[in-house]
Amino acid sequence: MKKTVTTLADGRELIYYDSRDDVVRDAVDRRPLDPVSTSSEVRRDPLLGDSVAIASHRQGRIYHPPADECPLCPSQEDRHSEIPEPDYDVAVFENRFPSLAGDSGRCEVVCFTSDHDASFADLTEEQAGLVLEAWTDRTAELAELPQVTQVFCFENRGAEIGVTLGHPHGQIYGYPFVTPRTELMLRSAADHRAATGGNLFDDLVAREEADGSRIVLAGEHWVAFVPYAAHWPYEVHLYPRRRVADLRELDEAARTEFPQVYLELLRRFDRIFGPGEPPTPYISAWHQAPFGVEGREDFALHLELFTIRRTSGKLKFLAGSESGMSVFINDVPPETAAQRLREVASE
């Protein structure tokens, strides 16, 4: 992998990740951009004890532009985008409309490919491996920033999820706090350690493998399953068999196998609802241990992939119980979801 760091016209950082070492990235951003102005602020909720990012400047972000005006496509002679080069493998840049900025953290955009009409599932194993290297490198870089406590790499895919740019891309958030979901996991892991002397994540994966009914696929270095108490209609958790705290700690064997397993999962997601159905909307989220917190050594890196589509043409909405009280009601039994995801294995 070759990494090239440069800046855009307004001073934001742009990083190219290339599979070839002989690629030169020296194109200049010629757009007449004004300096980025943000109003990001993190406020603590005294009732729930969590944090909310207030970012009113995001109201002006680009919303469903036509394909020939996509800001994530490579630049052409008559059109300049966020990527000055005429082509690229993987590109990462600071978000012009960040939810978190300055002392409140950092937000980045990850462009998986220069092909506007592709999806992550269309990538080759080599391309997917390069994205993994980019996620890992950004985790390492953001871990060094004093205002970042936790790094979150994720992809929102599909208009139903709320995606406003059709180009295949994801995001990376550097939070200035430990997220509420991670705090719950850390607390559960500590309680499990105190009660049993074991590791919660290790024991959870072992139980799923022993049961077998919710296993979707298993490799030598990764295992994917629908969790026993899945919140979403189709939800898969992907764990490396050797427990690590974050992406930086994955060994070479796990890195090599990851693209095979992950691409297979994504392709199965697109087959869930049968031929002729539109691409399945999903959220793919890496859960990594926060930095410098008690219990970090007990945390397990894993990826959670889920869709809000519960059946053909119908979405799972977060209504009263889910939104009002955070109590999920799942219409699809996890065992049924796992069986369906086994049935649609790619040939």
Q: Which residues are catalytic?
A: 169
Counting Cα atoms < 13 Å in the Cβ hemisphere of 246 gives: 23
Decide if 179 contacts 53 (C-beta within 8 A). no
DSSP designation for 272 = T
Token duo for residue 232 = 């979403």
Distance CA 13, CA 25 (A): 14
Distance CA 40, CA 167 (A): 25
Amino acid at 148: V
Buried b (16+ CB within 10 A) or exposed e, 218-228: ebebbbbbbbe
Token duo for residue 127 = 């391309």
Distance CA 166, CA 169 (A): 8
Q: How far is CA 303 from CA 73, 89, 236, 237, 336, in A?
A: 27, 23, 8, 6, 21
Those residues whose C-beta lies under 8 Å from the C-beta of residue 1, and which sit 6 or more positions away, are 17, 18, 19, 130, 133
Number of helices (H) and strands (E) in the chain: give both, helices first.
6, 15
